[in-house]
Structure formats: C-alpha cells, structure tokens
A and B are shown apart, each in its own frame.
Chain A
Amino acid sequence: MANNKNVIIRIKRQANPTARPYWEEFELPWKPGMNITSSLMDIAANPVTRDGKVTTPITYDSNCLEEVCGSCAMVINGRARMACSALVDKLEQPIKLEPFSKFPVVRDLSVDRSVLFENLKAVKAWVPIDGTYDLGSGPRMSAEDQESAYPLSRCISCCCCMEACPQFNESTGFVGAAAISQVRLFNTHPTGAALKRERLAALMGDGGIQECGYAQNCVEVCPKDIPLTRSISEVGREVMKQAVGDLFRK
C-alpha cells in the first residue's frame, strides 16, 4: 500500500454517550511513516469527508504518541490496539476505526476506561510503605526477580486486554486481565506481599478471577507483550489455595 497516493479511513462516530453512531469516510494524502494519530491530526487540520462534506474534527484520546501512556487505544480494522503504533503502511485499506465497544463512549473514538482505575483500587495495587521519610534502602532483590517483575510493571492501562476478552462484559462484571496481572506483581514484591490476602480476597466471587474463560485473547492483543495468561493462572492458583484454606479455617 506504500505506493498508494491516498489513504482511506472510515471512522465510526458518535456525538455523545447517548447519540446514535454513524460512519464517516476520509481520504488523506499518503505521507511516509504516517500512523493513525498523525492521520487524525491531519483530519483535524482539514475536517472534510471524502465526499466533500464539512464536518468536525474527530475526538479521540492521545498523549505520548509512543505507546507508553496508554491513551490512544481503539479498535483498528477489528483489533484492539494503540493508534500511535498503528502504521498506515501496515494496515489494510480502507482503514476502519471504531471506539472500544465494552466501555461507555464519550464521543467518537474516546471512551471512559475509569473502571480499570477503580479495579486497581479494589485490588490494592500498591506497596504499603510506612511513609516517605528517610527509612533507608529498599529490600534487596535479585536481578532474576527484578527481571520477572519488570515486564508486569510495564502495563500501560490501555484496556486492550479487556476489550478483547469475551468474558469482560456487564453480565459477568469480570475484573479483567490487567488488574489480575497487577495482583501478581504486588504479591511477589517483598513488601507488597503484606496485602496479598486482601488482594486475593478481592478476586474471589462474582466478577473475580473465576470468570476467566481462557480464551487467551488478552495476551494476543497486549501491546506490551505482558504474560497475562501466566499471571491469571498463577494468581488463580493462589486464589484457589486461599479459598480452600479459608474453608478449613471456618
């Protein structure tokens, strides 16, 4: 497609959370290295559809444009992914852009993903330090432990794993892979482990880890290649162990 002079992009738009969605098609001059975010910027500079109708710039979330802030997630040609790292030359045309389907639409391609941040609160995804005053150095950690924690800590909260998950929907209330993987991260940290029981308890019952149907879509779409399914199975085992233990303690 690199030799095509123009790029055609179809965008599913929606004026506000309750409005009916509709499609608009845009045709942009091809530029080397163009990606979806640069295309959306070009549309903002000249918001005219392919058939010449004057329209409004597209509302979408974006910030760092280098796939580390997690803002610009959307569905591109049917796949949940980040718009900044979606290079036009590698996409089949016409390129189809849609907002995430499992989160409330704010406007156009922008959706409300605050549910993940609420989930991170529920699983206490933090290390409970005593305070910020000087308490000396942190716990010693082997290079090996650092190397297994670091990939988990690179989660950008984009929610692609949740969008792609067949179990993530209103009826299950499933917490999703991202939050479960954070539980694994903090439970393996020497100080973070202090809250291990509470974190595992938060993943029991409805919407908890048991809702996972092992479709493995999460690990497939994760832009950071986080071993999400491994996190789910490890945490799942811990949850089970704790649940059984709780049973005997009663």
Chain B
Amino acid sequence: MIGGGLAGLAAVIKIAEMGGQVDLFSIVPVKRSHSVCAQGGINAAKNLKGEGDSTWQHFDDTVYGGDFLANQPPVKEMCDAAPGIIDLLDRMGVPFNRTPEGLLDFRRFGGTLYNRTAFAGATTGQQLLYALDEQVRRYESEGKVKKYEGWEFLSVVLDGNRVCRGICAMDLRSMEVRTFPADAIIVATGGIGAIFGKSTNSVVCTGSAQSALYQQGCYYANGEFIQVHPTSIPGEDKLRLMSESARGEGGRVWVPKTPGDKRDPKSIPESERWYFLEEWYPKYGNLVPRDVATRAIHKVVYEHGLGVDGKPMVYLDLTHIDRKILDRKLEGILEIYEKFVGDDPRDTPMKIFPGMHYTMGGLWVDFKQATNIPGVFAAGECEYQYHGANRLGANSLVSCIFGGFVAGPEAVKYGRNLAAASSNGHFDAERKRQEEINAKLMKAEGNENPFLLWRELGDEMTKNVTVIRYNKNIQATDAKLVELLERYQRVNLSDRTQWANTTVVFTRQLYNMLQLARVIAQGAAMRDESRGAHYKPDFPDRDDKNWLKTTKATFAPDADEPRFEFEPVDISLIPPRTRKY
C-alpha cells in the first residue's frame, strides 16, 4: 500500500480483514496525511430529512456535476454504497454532528438541492482519517500491517513481462534505497497541488508517485481537469481552504457595488452589495458547483473590476448567522481564518479567492481500480474514476473510501492468482537505477536552484492552466515546461549530505512534477471545448460530438513526452443533457 490517507487506510482495513498481509508506505506518519484537510463533510443519500433524496439522485447530481465525463457504472456503485459507508464510519466512532433526536445530521453542499452531507464540525476529513487510522493501528498491533512511515515511493519493480513484482522506495532519514517484493500494490498518493506551486493541498501532494508510474507505463487520464476551489484564503506558504460548508450553512458571497469601496463591509447597506451568485443562479444560489462559482468570482473581479479593495478578493459573509450555530457546525474553519488572517469571521466578512484544490484526473483505472500495469491498483484522488470534469463538494471523501474498499479486495484476489516470477533480477536492476538518480543529483554541479525552478513551474501553471484557458498561452506554458526540464539537467543541490536530506527528495519530486505538468498542459491544449472545470473562452460550449471521451496520456520514453489517445465514456445509465444551474 502506497499512501496512508483515507483511500489507502480503507484498502488496508479490507485487506487485513480478508487475512492479507500489508506493508504500508507513507511519506508522513499516516495520521498526518492530507485527508485531514477535508473540512465540510461526506455525501450519502441517507434521506434523513424527509426530502425524498435517493442514491439515484446522488448519482445523477454527481454525473451532471461532472459534466458527463465520468464512466457512469462505478459512479452509481459509489453512490449506492455511500449510506453504508456512513454507517460504518459512525460505528467506528466518528463524532458526526447529531440531530436533537440523536440521529446523524446532514447539511447542504454545492451542486445539489438536498441535505446530503454528513459532517463532524468542519473537520470531517480529520475525523474520518482518524477513525480509519485507529482501525489500522489495531491491525498493526495484531501484526497484520507493517508501517513504513517516512519512506517515499520511487518506482514499481516490473519483471520481464512488465508485471508488477514490488516497489522501490527510499528511507527519508538514512536515504537508503530499497526494494520490497509484493504480489500487488495499491497506489493512493492523493493530489498534485504542488505542480501549481501554491494550492490548498498539503506539502506531500506533489503527484510524484503518479508521475513515476506514468513514466513507467501507466496511463494517466483526464489530467487537464483541475478543480479550482472558489473560496480559499491566499497565504505566503499555501492557499488555505475555506470550506464549501460555510455556504452550506448559509454563507453568502458578495462584493460592494462600487469599485474600490473603502467602507467597512459591515457598514455597507444591503442595497449597495452585489450578491452575484444569488442573482445569476437563483435556484442554487451560493451553492452552485465549484467550477461555476470560481468562474463567476473571476468574472466579477477581472471583468467587472469589483474585487474587494481593488484586489482579487470577494467577501464570504457569515455574520448574519447565529454565533452558537457557527461554533457548533463550522468552528474548525472559522478558527483557521482567525488564526491565519487575524479577523473573526463571526464579526466580519471573510476575504476569499479561488485557489487550486483538486485533480479530477489521475491514474487510469478500470472498474476494479486496476491500472493497465498488471498488479498496480490505484484509489483516491490519484486516480480519475469518479468525478468526471468537476467534482462535487463532499464527494471526495466518499470516493476515497469507496475506491479503497474496492481496490483492497481486488488486489488480494489478483495476488492470490499470481504465478511466481521467473527470476528476481529485476529488483537489483531497479534499485541500482534509482540509486544512480540520487548519485547523479548529489554530484550535479550546475547553477539551477530546484526550489526556484519549482516556483517558476507553479506560477506558469497557475497563470495559464487553471480557470480560464487559451490555447496560445497553454502552448507557451508547455514550451516553458520543456525549458524547465532542460534547466533541471543543470540543478545544483544546496545539500549533499546523506541523512534526512529534504533537498534531494524534493528535487526528485520536482522532476516528476515537470513531466506530469506536460500531461496536464497538453491535455488542456488539445481539448477544444468547455466542460466542467475545463473552460476555454474560444470554445465556450461542451462538444459531446468530438469530446465526450476520456483523455489517456502515455509516456513515450524516446521522445521524453506524452502521447495521447482517447476512449469513449460509458454513458449507459443517464443520457447526457445540457448542464445549466
């Protein structure tokens, strides 16, 4: 198991329960995985509010919210399984918020008209991760799971038939490179935020593992679909997420009608405020899906010139809501705003702006979570399966757990039927290959600083391959990526010691980020339409005739760049219709 976030831990639990033996690799102690950052909740159509919600409605909202790019059968399976997953988490002790009767409480989230989101305050991801972490710790104490925390995945060990036989990983303290045999591996390495420099993601979300696998022959699908969350708090080191649950609980987005209005926001009368989401989308209001809200904020700021204080910011206002309700339902996120900005959002509207948040694309997998390399499975954000062209809020946690619950048993089944390898020579060869990469970096005498190259990468990708995309700019970005890859050959490490050297680790990740960035940029350049989070003003409409298809990138080692092919989307359950909120 590579990765110990929600998807990884979910898979581990299933495997241990089946009597399998798991080695669990994680860069950080698994309890510190990025899943802790998920805030608002987890979707399941439990229909506990008398609204007539159903798993079919959840399925329909998800497919429609994803602009019909997701293969439908696995999405339906996920939505059907979601209520059972909530029950299980409840049994594991997740402190979900309760109704007065003592039942699970549900709130509204974007892209749906139903109260379908179960939540534990505003730190739901943390609570879910802890619950799974505790169950894994229980299995660990029974000897069924062995954790390798502080290890980084470098590559998969493939035999002569290109079948997975294990992994190659590096101890982040001793820097030792070692191979580990496995009948099957599951990759659950999360997001790729670092490719965009600053994002809402954690430091470990570099996409390095996915990229390494792509460079070893895995398909990478729908890479061009990047979710930019409408409400984040810009910061020096990262963009901190301000959960959609703030709007789910009644938060309103607005700007002053007068450009550059200098007044204290609380003193601006209602008539001089523009609640643009409510005006443009009367049915869903502030709870339109994220891609829609993000584009609306961009429009208000850049086309109408109405950003707060003339800056790229809008107000997210909770001040009309009772403080006690805010504390009970949203405390975790209000605390983040208070600590990092210094203002109390109970008293003053928050200033927020869209920030890179999530990748809908990822490793290509089949309906059993298997990649195209035999023995390599994937689950969670690192694969592409459930969210199509745009993910709905609170669907990520359910897709992580569901994906892990499928991947675990499928990997066990695969492993039990696996014939032995003809030789072990591939382990040594792979270890040497990885050791040589380290040795070469340690010796490099160039003049390029990897941290500065990374900042250039992030700026470029954020500028041209996020909310608004023009072919000319994306092509310029791809040319820039080629230049960065070329300059990468001349890096010079500021640290060459052989103990807990974070610089060499980061520099390795940077190479993989650059290779994966090209998949994202080129995929975006090719797709001449607008669908979900992918928006091109020059091609403003969805084009099902030409583009209702999955993008699949494969690495061409000789050319050192991606090649693309496409496969049809399984739309067997819900015929595509125009997406209009």
Which A residues are within 8 Å of any B CB, using their own CB?
Answer: 15-16, 31-35, 37-38, 41, 44-47, 54-57, 59, 61-71, 84-85, 87, 106-108, 110, 113-114, 117, 120-121, 124-129, 131-132, 134-143, 146-147, 149-150, 153-154, 156-157, 186, 189, 191-192
Question: Which of B30-38, B107-115, B512-520, B523-531 participates in binding chain A?
Answer: B30-38
In contact, B503 and A44 (Cβ under 8 angstroms): yes
User: Which of A71, A87, A132, A141 makes the CB contact (< 8 A) with B13?
Assistant: A132
In contact, B238 and A65 (Cβ under 8 angstroms): yes
Chain A residues, Cβ within 8 Å of B84:
134
Chain A residues, Cβ within 8 Å of B120:
150, 153
How many A-B pairs have beta carbons closer than 8 Å: the answer is 195
| B196-242 with Cβ < 8 A to chain A | 202-204, 235-238, 240-241
CA distance A62 to B127 in the complex (A): 20
Chain A residues, Cβ within 8 Å of B241:
66
In contact, B87 and A138 (Cβ under 8 angstroms): yes
> Does B476 make an interface contact (CB < 8 A)?
no
User: Which of A68, A135, A143 makes the CB contact (< 8 A) with B126?
Assistant: A68
In contact, B240 and A66 (Cβ under 8 angstroms): yes
Chain A: interface secondary structure? loop
A225 to chain B, nearest CB (A): 9
User: Which of B33, B102, B134, B203 makes the CB contact (< 8 A) with A65?
Assistant: B203
* Nearest chain B residue, comparing its CB with the CB of A66: B240
> Does B459 make an interface contact (CB < 8 A)?
no
Q: Given A68-B37, A70-B31, is A191 in contact with B91 using a C-beta cutoff of 8 Å?
A: yes
Chain B residues, Cβ within 8 Å of A131:
17
> Does B97 make an interface contact (CB < 8 A)?
yes
Residue among A37, A57, A66, A141 having the largest count of chain B Cβ atoms under 10 Å? A66
In contact, B494 and A35 (Cβ under 8 angstroms): no
* Nearest chain B residue, comparing its CB with the CB of A37: B237
Residue among B149, B332, B494 having the largest count of chain A Cβ atoms under 10 Å? B494
In contact, B237 and A121 (Cβ under 8 angstroms): no
Query: What are the 7 tightest A-B residue pairs by CB atom distance, in nearest-first order?
Result: A138-B90, A126-B134, A38-B237, A38-B236, A107-B500, A56-B495, A127-B93
The 21 sampled A-B contact pairs (Cβ below 8 Å) are A32-B236, A41-B451, A63-B32, A67-B336, A67-B339, A68-B123, A69-B28, A69-B37, A69-B202, A70-B31, A107-B499, A110-B500, A121-B140, A128-B138, A137-B87, A137-B104, A143-B98, A146-B97, A153-B120, A154-B332, A186-B93
Chain A residues, Cβ within 8 Å of B494:
44, 47, 54-57
Chain B residues, Cβ within 8 Å of A62:
203
In contact, A132 and B36 (Cβ under 8 angstroms): no
> Does B429 make an interface contact (CB < 8 A)?
no
In contact, A153 and B451 (Cβ under 8 angstroms): no
Q: Given A34-B236, A44-B451, A142-B98, is A64 in contact with B500 using a C-beta cutoff of 8 Å?
A: no
Chain B residues, Cβ within 8 Å of A33:
235-236, 340-341
Which B residues are within 8 Å of any A CB, using their own CB?
Answer: 13-14, 17, 28-29, 31-34, 36-37, 84, 87-88, 90-93, 95-100, 102-104, 120-121, 123, 126-127, 130-131, 134-135, 137-138, 140-141, 149, 173, 202-204, 235-238, 240-241, 328, 332, 336, 339-342, 405, 449, 451-452, 455, 494-495, 497, 499-503
Q: Given A138-B87, A146-B97, is A106 in contact with B236 using a C-beta cutoff of 8 Å?
A: no
Chain B residues, Cβ within 8 Å of A138:
87, 90-93
Chain A residues, Cβ within 8 Å of B126:
68, 154, 156
B445 to chain A, nearest CB (A): 14
In contact, B87 and A117 (Cβ under 8 angstroms): no
In contact, A129 and B91 (Cβ under 8 angstroms): yes
B455 to chain A, nearest CB (A): 7
Query: Besides the contacts A65-B235, A66-B238, A67-B336, what 17 more A-B pairs have beta carbons closer than 8 Å?
Result: A32-B236, A35-B340, A41-B451, A57-B494, A57-B503, A68-B37, A69-B34, A117-B137, A120-B134, A120-B137, A121-B137, A131-B17, A134-B88, A138-B90, A140-B102, A142-B102, A154-B332
In contact, B28 and A63 (Cβ under 8 angstroms): yes
Chain B residues, Cβ within 8 Å of A114:
29, 149
B3 to chain A, nearest CB (A): 13
Chain B residues, Cβ within 8 Å of A127:
91-93, 131, 134
Chain B residues, Cβ within 8 Å of A59:
500-502
CA distance A171 to B552 in the complex (A): 59
User: Which of B28, B91, B452, B495 makes the CB contact (< 8 A) with A57?
Assistant: B495
In contact, B93 and A154 (Cβ under 8 angstroms): no
* Nearest chain B residue, comparing its CB with the CB of A225: B335
CA distance A113 to B32 in the complex (A): 12
In contact, B204 and A38 (Cβ under 8 angstroms): no
Residue among B100, B203, B342, B449 having the largest count of chain A Cβ atoms under 10 Å? B203
CA distance A66 to B239 in the complex (A): 9
Chain B residues, Cβ within 8 Å of A69:
28, 32-34, 36-37, 202
Residue among A139, A140, A143, A149 having the largest count of chain B Cβ atoms under 10 Å? A143
Chain B residues, Cβ within 8 Å of A154:
121, 123, 126, 332
CA distance A135 to B86 in the complex (A): 11
